[in-house]
């Protein structure tokens, strides 16, 4: 009889405040993580030397996730939407804290919001797995937070004698209706803020191709490599890049901006190092597929005195689509589409590309972007003092 009594004895829940403040803590963790990811997203696009703490490897790299087109949704970075979501959740928690809520109200709505957060986390995880092929540590933290929010909101509903799901939802909605002024006071500024964000948030992730000014010199080196900048430079930078590499585009456009401001001091020489397994012997598995053909298109453009125009368009196209429309490309550059299409099989262009790749391998370059300055190789970025010293001369 004693055993039976123990088995039948109901489990007493902890005080409501324990569960409530656990949910508050989780929502704040999500908000702080989203703030950090928003900051990191901004730095990735605007700081020439930025690297986040979780850029650990090819597979675990927050920066790779930030650089992907999937990091944007409805004209805003995904982590900014994270900030919006957790603030929205916290506003509901303020209503749940109301004495009239009696530990029962708002939790069905909060459970629905947490379920939406969790489903979105699953969607983002699938994007990282099947399209980006890289994971963000802080994003994984947020996935865990969202799952725990779902778990705790469900637990609160069940432990504090909430009614059935549909009935609970109806009661939550009636609860909000009876407190219309409080709801408007909380949520009207919130939704107005979202509208302002969508209208005026700066699109810092858009790299506008540098304008090719007539005052900036350009040409071809004796070895057949395109250059732009000074005819008598204080500093010569040779870049090895891949058109599908985000950091290559970012660094290239920063360098072009420096050249536009100091056209008489810096010269940039372009060389190709596509991380495409079809042309690069150090790449053993599919990676940046198609960048080898893009390099061949650029090499052909150089023979038509249109390299820098082609270069800028290829960097833009590589981010927007995996497929290059040769007809559209030819139309933008005023080139013959048939000749341009045949250039990807041109043996002379392929020989020049192989020469670039072999020269990079001799310098022990194994990734992009890479820069050669005065015989020294710098991977991913150039020490700022090198450029500063050159500008002082």
Instruction: Give pLDDT tens digits for 333-345.
Output: 889 888 888 988 9
Query: What mean pLDDT value characterizes the chain?
Result: 88
Q: Span 209-219, mean pLDDT?
A: 75
What are the boundaries of each domain within the chain? Answer: 10-200, 217-392
Instruction: Give pLDDT tens digits for 29-83.
Output: 999 999 999 999 999 888 877 778 887 877 888 888 888 888 999 989 999 999 9
Does residue 308 have a cis bond before it (omega within 30 degrees)?
no
| pLDDT value of position 45 | 87
Q: Where do we find the tokens 């397994």? A: 277
3-state secondary structure 63-126: HHHHHCHHHEECCEEHHHHHHHHHHHHHHHHHHHHCHHHCCCCCHHHHHHHHHHHHHHHHHHHH
Tokens of 50: 């930025």
Question: Which class does domain 10-200 fall in?
Answer: mainly alpha
Assigned fold of 217-392: Glutaredoxin (3.40.30)
pTM given for the model: 0.78
């Amino acid at each position: 009889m004693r055993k039976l009594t123990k088995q039948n004895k109901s489990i007493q829940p902890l005080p409501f405040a324990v569960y409530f403040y656990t949910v508050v803590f989780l929502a704040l963790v999500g908000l702080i993580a989203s703030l950090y990811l928003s900051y990191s997203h901004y730095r990735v696009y605007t700081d020439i030397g930025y690297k986040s703490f979780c850029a650990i490897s090819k597979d675990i790299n927050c920066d790779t996730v930030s650089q992907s087109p999937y990091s944007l949704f409805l004209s805003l970075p995904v982590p900014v939407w994270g900030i919006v979501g957790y603030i929205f959740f916290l506003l509901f928690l303020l209503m749940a804290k109301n004495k009239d809520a009696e530990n029962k109200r708002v939790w069905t709505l909060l459970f629905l919001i947490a379920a939406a957060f969790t489903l979105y986390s699953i969607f983002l995880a699938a994007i990282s797995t099947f399209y980006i092929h890289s994971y963000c540590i802080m994003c994984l933290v947020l996935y865990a937070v969202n799952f725990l929010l779902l778990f705790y909101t469900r637990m609160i509903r069940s432990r504090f004698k909430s009614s059935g799901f549909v009935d609970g939802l109806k009661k939550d909605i009636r609860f909000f209706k009876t407190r219309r002024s409080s709801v408007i006071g909380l949520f009207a500024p919130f939704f107005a803020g979202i509208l302002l964000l969508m209208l005026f948030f700066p699109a810092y992730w858009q790299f506008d191709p540098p304008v090719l000014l007539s005052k900036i010199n350009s040409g071809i080196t004796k070895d057949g490599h395109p250059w732009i900048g000074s005819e008598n430079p204080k500093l010569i930078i040779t870049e090895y890049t891949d058109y599908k590499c985000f950091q290559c585009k970012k660094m290239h456009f920063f360098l072009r901006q420096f050249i536009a401001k100091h056209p008489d001091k810096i010269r940039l020489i372009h060389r190709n190092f596509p991380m495409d397994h079809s042309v690069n012997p150090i790449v053993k598995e599919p990676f940046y597929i198609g960048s080898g053909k893009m390099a061949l298109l650029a090499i052909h453009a150089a023979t038509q005195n249109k390299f820098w125009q082609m270069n800028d368009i290829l960097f833009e196209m590589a981010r927007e689509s995996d497929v290059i429309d040769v007809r559209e490309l030819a139309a933008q550059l005023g080139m013959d589409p048939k000749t341009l299409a045949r250039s990807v099989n041109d043996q002379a262009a392929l020989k020049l590309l192989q020469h670039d790749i072999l020269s990079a391998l001799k310098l022990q370059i194994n990734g992009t972007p890479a820069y050669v300055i005065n015989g020294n190789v710098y991977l991913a970025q150039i020490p700022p003092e090198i450029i500063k010293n050159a500008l002082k001369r």
